[in-house]
A and B are shown apart, each in its own frame.
Chain A
Amino acid sequence: MSGVSQEEFIRTVREAIGTRRDVAERPADYGVARVVSPDGPIVEKFCEMVLDARMQLHRVGGPADVPAAVLAIMKQHGVRSAIVSEEAFPGREALRAAMEAAGCELLDLRAPDAPFEADLGITAARLAIAETGSIVVRSGPDVRRIGSLAVPVHVSIVPRERIVPDLMDWAAALGPDMPSNEVLITGPSKTSDIEMKLVVGVHGPRHVHVVLVG
């Protein structure tokens, strides 16, 4: 394969930098970047931002209430088939049973095209960010990358204790052990490419529901 070696490429860069290295110290304090303080009402902030990002919010008291909330969402969209990712979240087994009892076909998460065929995809948020209303989905052995993308309706289960105040808190906890893929989802798939008119559901889900537990 062509191109140049890393050594040669970096040598050119080093020569270009020359002696102008001490122009800026690496910043020591990122305090000015923080928007949401950990001391504030972060759950309320998260809820406000979820709605502002055009997602739908369902607040339930505990894991036992999750199935009813999801069944209502299924009814709203006429859902007949779904994929449920396999990461642990409170009430997962009860939810699956309730969905099947309601006549929803649960597709095999491992079937390559299942996310393209399902009416609904359920994932759990690894974290949620109050500042932006984002939900953080990490893919891996239990979660399909496209399980929250190819489906027309995405439901994210967000246990209340997973909400962090600020993007800085999300970033601070990330280190060298990054997974192959992590995505911050902040709203339904959308575009304004045609004369700045907003259209949702362009490639990804048209509807994103956040079920906040606790």
Chain B
Amino acid sequence: MSDARAATVPDFRTRAARAIAEPGLSQAVTSATLRQYEGRKRMLPELGHPLEIRDLAARIKDHTLAHLDRYLAIFAENVRRHGGQVHFAQTPDQAVEIIGGIARRHQVRRIVKAKSMTSEEIHLTEHLEADGIEVVETDLGEFIVQIDHDRPSHIVTPVIHKTTGQIARLFERVLGTPYTEDPEVLTAAARRHLREKFRTADMGICGCNFAVAETGTVCIVTNEGNGRYCTSRPKVVVALMGMEKMVPSMPDLAVMLKLLAKSSTGQRLTVYTNLMSGPRRPGDLDGPEEFHVVILDRGRSRILASEFRETLRCIRCGACLNACPVYRTIGGHAYNSVYPGPIGKLITPLLAGYDEYKDLPNASSLCGACFEACPVRIDIPMLLIRMRDDLRRQGKMHWFQRLAFRIWRWMMLSHRLYALGGGAGRLWDWVAPGGWHRRAPFPFSAWTRHRDLPVMARRPFRKMWKDLENS
């Protein structure tokens, strides 16, 4: 999201309310995410030691991040040894310039692109299109997003928010496919359309799921096979990666692969696990003549230096999105971010700055389902609390909240005020139908606007304790 556009965007509360009001959205997202969530639950126990392997994966990532400077250098050296070229970009502008430069140098007219969330971060497609290049998204979901001028709403399944009917109407309008709600026919139409693009593109762009330092290998996984096309047929291939995608060696990659698809879609392994090490070699029958890797920082070194380093372990599986009751209810667009859901609440403000996204860390009930689902054990609820505290320290909290918590603290620290508050609460409990307060007077209405407040225990714990001591 560009700054200018973000400035006109309503706050999270409004966006969430609109999403909830959107007919069918919450049901569509809930049923899709539940399916993937159930798939994950079914598949994970297949790993003989499902908890221990997640700890192992977390340790691999922590180790890699703590020595990222070294592994980046090893990786770059090995890519070059295979004949590939490595570029370093600290900002989105630099990354766009590098990739645009490669396209210009080869007079590229058509680019086929595999799914890459990092490319969404830097608005790569828009920039290349502004240069007059045709950029074709080839993942079916991303293709639908592109021809509808929409945005992805899930990092793994981008059109989770769309119904078959909506897609059918879109295909009728854009591709001329007769209206049908048969996903087979719709998919076949996209296949025909994209097959010709694959055959004739001059350049391919892909992301990177993992980069293996010791072998100089870029690994991408796709179910459709579009990632393989984009990196096999065109003469020039560019892989764009966030610098945290690194793992040291192939056994580390294997550990990550074991976890990724199971956590993501409940598959044992993604259909195509594609390992690329440089361009085609002399004598090879096909493959790109030039292979470029663009490594992006964009705030990641700031995260590395911060108390939020462990968010860089994230392998973008989407398990936390699928597990999250908030995400299931409001879908991805309400987050107004490339990365929605629990992990998005952390990395979006970290990557793009607190100012635009200071309400995201508060969009959580801290239920912990995300932490439970995370294959690399990122303690998302704890980090959200830490980020809220960080926001407070930086003075980015609403004055009303600050005042409320100051009064709260004052009451909690005084025995007499605490008892007085409890007494007042118990009086108020006389008018709580069914044991819940559904609407409270100002200023407590700030709480009951979004959740009910239970009545207090009949007798305070202090008194019960005293009785116990006396008996």
Contacts A4-B90, A20-B66; A193 near B255 (Cβ below 8 A): no
**Is B275's CB under 8 angstroms from A183's CB?**
yes
A residues 146-189 touching B (CB-CB < 8 Å): 146-147, 149-150, 167-168, 170-172, 174-176, 178-189
Cα-based distance from A82 to B65 in the complex (angstroms): 47
**Is A190's CB under 8 angstroms from B223's CB?**
yes
**Is B287's CB under 8 angstroms from A13's CB?**
no
Contacts A190-B224, A204-B228; A144 near B286 (Cβ below 8 A): yes
Contacts A32-B56, A146-B232, A171-B251; A176 near B78 (Cβ below 8 A): yes
Determine if B157 is an interface residue (Cβ-Cβ < 8 Å).
Answer: yes
Cα-based distance from A130 to B392 in the complex (angstroms): 52
Least CB separation from B273: chain A residue: A184
- The segment out of B116-124, B263-271, B401-409, B457-465 that lies at the interface is B263-271
Residues of A contacting B183 with CB < 8 Å? Answer: 194-195, 197, 199
Residues of B contacting A14 with CB < 8 Å? Answer: 69
**Is A17's CB under 8 angstroms from B68's CB?**
yes
Determine if A203 is an interface residue (Cβ-Cβ < 8 Å).
Answer: yes
- Quote the shortest CB–CB distance from B406 to chain A (angstroms): 33
Contacts A145-B228, A167-B254, A178-B216; A1 near B69 (Cβ below 8 A): no
**A182 is contacted by which of B138, B186, B275 (Cβ under 8 Å)?**
B275
Determine if A64 is an interface residue (Cβ-Cβ < 8 Å).
Answer: no
Residues of B contacting A132 with CB < 8 Å? Answer: 268-269
Contacts A13-B243, A16-B305; A149 near B275 (Cβ below 8 A): no
- Quote the shortest CB–CB distance from B383 to chain A (angstroms): 16
**Is A194's CB under 8 angstroms from B195's CB?**
no
Least CB separation from B278: chain A residue: A180
Cα-based distance from A123 to B69 in the complex (angstroms): 40
Cα-based distance from A54 to B95 in the complex (angstroms): 40
Contacts A167-B254, A189-B271; A17 near B69 (Cβ below 8 A): yes
Cα-based distance from A27 to B255 in the complex (angstroms): 12
Cα-based distance from A60 to B56 in the complex (angstroms): 40
**Is A9's CB under 8 angstroms from B90's CB?**
yes
**Is A191's CB under 8 angstroms from B224's CB?**
yes
- Quote the shortest CB–CB distance from B233 to chain A (angstroms): 6
Determine if B297 is an interface residue (Cβ-Cβ < 8 Å).
Answer: yes
- Quote the shortest CB–CB distance from B275 to chain A (angstroms): 5
Residues of B contacting A145 with CB < 8 Å? Answer: 228, 232, 285-287
- The segment out of B45-53, B355-363, B438-446 that lies at the interface is B45-53
A125-154 vs B, Cβ < 8 Å mask (1 yes, 0 no): 000000111100001111111110110000
**Is B195's CB under 8 angstroms from A13's CB?**
no
**Is B223's CB under 8 angstroms from A17's CB?**
no
Determine if B451 is an interface residue (Cβ-Cβ < 8 Å).
Answer: no
A1-17 vs B, Cβ < 8 Å mask (1 yes, 0 no): 11111101110111111
Determine if B349 is an interface residue (Cβ-Cβ < 8 Å).
Answer: no
Determine if A196 is an interface residue (Cβ-Cβ < 8 Å).
Answer: yes
Cα-based distance from A135 to B139 in the complex (angstroms): 23
Residues of A contacting B53 with CB < 8 Å? Answer: 32-33
Determine if A122 is an interface residue (Cβ-Cβ < 8 Å).
Answer: no
Residues of A contacting B305 with CB < 8 Å? Answer: 15-18
- Quote the shortest CB–CB distance from A173 to chain B (angstroms): 8
Determine if B106 is an interface residue (Cβ-Cβ < 8 Å).
Answer: no
Residues of A contacting B326 with CB < 8 Å? Answer: none
**Is B164's CB under 8 angstroms from A195's CB?**
yes
B residues 157-195 touching A (CB-CB < 8 Å): 157-159, 162-164, 167, 183-184, 186-187, 190-191, 194-195
**Is A52's CB under 8 angstroms from B283's CB?**
no
Cα-based distance from A203 to B167 in the complex (angstroms): 18
Cα-based distance from A208 to B225 in the complex (angstroms): 13
Q: How many residues of A contact B (CB 8 A)?
A: 85
- Quote the shortest CB–CB distance from B11 to chain A (angstroms): 31
Determine if A77 is an interface residue (Cβ-Cβ < 8 Å).
Answer: no
Determine if A211 is an interface residue (Cβ-Cβ < 8 Å).
Answer: no
**Is B90's CB under 8 angstroms from A12's CB?**
yes
Determine if A23 is an interface residue (Cβ-Cβ < 8 Å).
Answer: yes
**Is A53's CB under 8 angstroms from B191's CB?**
no
Residues of A contacting B314 with CB < 8 Å? Answer: none
**Is B285's CB under 8 angstroms from A189's CB?**
no
B242-254 vs A, Cβ < 8 Å mask (1 yes, 0 no): 0100001111011
**B88 is contacted by which of A6, A35, A53 (Cβ under 8 Å)?**
A6
Cα-based distance from A185 to B87 in the complex (angstroms): 30
Residues of B contacting A4 with CB < 8 Å? Answer: 88-90, 94
Determine if B73 is an interface residue (Cβ-Cβ < 8 Å).
Answer: yes
Residues of B contacting A10 with CB < 8 Å? Answer: 69, 72-73
Cα-based distance from A98 to B86 in the complex (angstroms): 47
- Quote the shortest CB–CB distance from A57 to chain B (angstroms): 16
Cα-based distance from A12 to B216 in the complex (angstroms): 22
Determine if A75 is an interface residue (Cβ-Cβ < 8 Å).
Answer: no
Contacts A141-B283, A202-B224; A49 near B268 (Cβ below 8 A): yes
A interface residues (Cβ-Cβ under 8 A, vs B): 1-6, 8-10, 12-18, 20-27, 30, 32-35, 49, 52-53, 109-110, 112-113, 116, 131-134, 139-147, 149-150, 167-168, 170-172, 174-176, 178-197, 199, 201-204
CB-CB nearest 9 A-B residue pairs: A204-B225, A24-B62, A171-B254, A9-B88, A193-B141, A145-B232, A178-B277, A16-B305, A184-B273
B interface residues (Cβ-Cβ under 8 A, vs A): 28, 31-32, 35, 46-49, 52-53, 56, 59-60, 62-63, 65-69, 72-73, 76, 78, 81-82, 86-90, 94-95, 97-98, 101-102, 138-141, 144, 157-159, 162-164, 167, 183-184, 186-187, 190-191, 194-195, 198-199, 214-217, 223-226, 228-229, 231-233, 243, 248-251, 253-255, 257-258, 265, 268-281, 283-287, 294-295, 297, 301-302, 304-305, 309
Mind listing 12 A-B residue pairs with CB under 8 Å? A3-B294, A17-B65, A22-B66, A35-B47, A139-B285, A145-B285, A149-B228, A167-B269, A174-B215, A176-B216, A179-B277, A193-B140
Known contacts A10-B69, A13-B301; 11 additional CB pairs below 8 A are A6-B86, A12-B90, A12-B297, A15-B305, A17-B65, A27-B59, A141-B283, A180-B82, A185-B272, A189-B225, A199-B184
